[in-house]
Amino acid sequence: MKKRELGHRLGLAVCAGAALGLSTGCSFEGASDEPLEALEPRSSAIVGDEVVLYEHSDFSGASQAFGIGRYDVDDLTIIGNDRTSSIRVPAGLRVTVFFNANFEEGAYVFTSDTNLATAGTNGVSVSADEIISSIVVSHASDPQLDVVTFYENANFTGQSFVYSVGGNFFFNGTWDARVSSVRVPPGFKLTLYDGYFWTSPESRVFTADANLAPHGFDNKARSFIIERL
């Protein structure tokens, strides 16, 4: 349990679905015919087709490289759980990091080299520094299928933040009553509340992308819960 993540203070019950299968469509010189699931993450210098997690904030210390795929906490065999402080992301790749195992709770998306110790927060989750437990590496152009994205404006524009299975609240924060549209990937269920979760007078449930104004919920969300279907 991550004590720093607000959702855990609420004792929320969340469910985690089975991880998606890894793509095997990419080919590299000298690669074997084994599926990507069989490849082991490794410690190495940055290369063009791998994201690298580093122990220290200056891209130093213990490191582990990850090609395209999904990696749960047991796959962080070198860098370890809750130890990453900086990330190198080659051009064209994207890494989605999660605070908990099973790709759950608070999340961030990075498409370039990032020093987590100085990157700040998104106004909902705490910093990603030394709290990463699972990651997904993908092409930057791939659809985002691992998190729900919240936007400040209609039509999925303006500032945004992401979150995975779990819940949190916005009270008196920068996102309080500010969300105007959401992207909800297949297999996810988002419930928005205009107060404190189940005690709220009103709520709305979404299982697909939506502008909130037609649902009478524009700039009204004050807490949320995300589940897997």
Give the model confidence (pLDDT) of 120-159 as tens digits.
999 999 999 999 999 999 999 999 999 999 999 999 999 9
For residues 200 and 178, give the distance between their C-alpha atoms in angstroms, rounded to a whole number. 17
Q: In angstroms, what CA-CA distances link 134 with 38, 48, 71, 90, 214?
A: 17, 21, 6, 19, 35
Q: Look up the CATH number of domain 148-228.
A: 2.60.20.10
Say how far apart CA 90 and CA 34 lie, in whole Å. 24
Walk along the chain (229 residues) in steps of 10 and give the mean pLDDT of each run. 41 35 38 43 60 96 97 97 98 98 98 96 96 98 97 98 97 97 98 96 98 98 98
Sketch the domain layout of the chain as residue ranges: 6-17+42-139, 148-228
| Fold match between domain 6-17+42-139 and domain 148-228 | yes
Question: In this predicted model, what pLDDT tens digit does every residue of 178-197 receive, in sequence order?
Answer: 999 999 999 999 999 999 99
Give the pair of three-digit tokens for residue 224.
């949320």
Amino acid identity of residue 33, one-letter, is D
> How far apart (Å, rounded) are the C-alpha atoms in residues 74 and 24?
21
As a whole number of angstroms, the distance between CA 122 and CA 186 comes to: 24
> What CATH number is given for 6-17+42-139 in this structure?
2.60.20.10
